[in-house]
Amino acid sequence: MQLLDGKIISAMIKDELKIEIEKRIAAGQKVPHLAAVLVGNNPASETYVFSKVKSCEEVGMDSTLIRLPDSATEAEVLSTVEKLNNDTAIDGFIVQLPLPAQISEKKVLKAINPDKDVDGFHEVNIGRLALGLPGFVPATPMGIIEMLKRANVETAGKHCVVLGRSHIVGMPISLLLMQNTNPGNCTVTICHSRTAGLETILQSADIIVAAIGKPRFVKANMVKQGAVVIDVGINRIADPSRKSGHRIVGDVDFDEVAPKCSFITPVPGGVGLMTIASLMLNTLKAVQINKY
């Protein structure tokens, strides 16, 4: 079993980005600038957004965090998006999800200029992804592809089973893995809450991408010997032995499943770190596209 180590791979990407940004500065070009909009006080969202801002600093990018209260109206969020669309200092921005219930996620995502949409969630970018056209690819699936590429994992002709059909992970990773690219060229099966015979389907998978948000759902008996297992889950479970009272586990029962795998991503220290590195890569791409 080989660990697909998000710490090592994301550190490599960040080092490469740092060099690229130093080169831009030396050439008198603009320093990439990412903005993040955080509405409310969701603790998980706060953690994610703070990590994104910190990573910008690490690679030498500029960042701006815009906080709006939990009580913010849809009009206020849309007006913030519009300002960022028109602000030439900002190369790319994200609106952290989920949003409070009074705000339509659909409307907010649609309002983002697709050429500043470094999360790749705008319908234009999803359309570009589906057609294999250049655009922003959502950070988590992009991070998974980058991991597979850098670890030289063979994907062509493999049966990949994706657990989950979310717009953020399940749907875009399925599109990426079926494309005629490397990594890619998989035969993809997407499973979800209404899939019949899930265990049998999983047992036939050469590659599993688990993105359902169910702690340690994937067990050893569901996994074929030698499978590649990508665990996208970040689930908080109670753990009285910890000072914090909790710990983070994935959608895969790592201890049971790892001995059967050719490659597996740990949680924490796997895909999560790749998501942030990919967002930084997208922000560099944004400054190159927008040329302010």
Which residues are at the interface with ligand GUN (CB under 6 A)?
94-97, 119, 139-140, 168, 275
In the annotation, is 119 catalytic? yes
CB of 205 to ligand GUN, least distance (A): 24
Asked if 34 contacts 118 with a C-beta cutoff of 8 angstroms, the reply is yes
CB of 221 to ligand GUN, least distance (A): 30
CB of 245 to ligand GUN, least distance (A): 23
What are the E-state strand segments in the chain? 2-3, 33-39, 62-68, 92-95, 159-163, 187-191, 207-210, 227-231, 235-238, 246-249, 261-264
CB of 28 to ligand GUN, least distance (A): 31
Complex with ligand GUN: residue 95 or 148, whichever CB lies closer? 95
Per-state percent for the chain, helix, strand, coil, to nearest 5: 45, 20, 40
Complex with ligand GUN: residue 38 or 229, whichever CB lies closer? 38
Nearest residue (beta carbon) to ligand GUN: 97
What are the E-state strand segments in 30-158? 33-39, 62-68, 92-95
Catalytic residue among 91, 117, 119, 231: 119
Coil, helix or strand for 289?
Answer: helix
Complex with ligand GUN: residue 42 or 203, whichever CB lies closer? 42
Torsional sign, CA 224, 230, 236, 238: positive
Complex with ligand GUN: residue 49 or 252, whichever CB lies closer? 49
In the annotation, is 96 catalytic? yes
Q: Round to whole Å and give the CA distance between 87 and 85.
A: 6
Catalytically annotated residues: 52, 96, 119
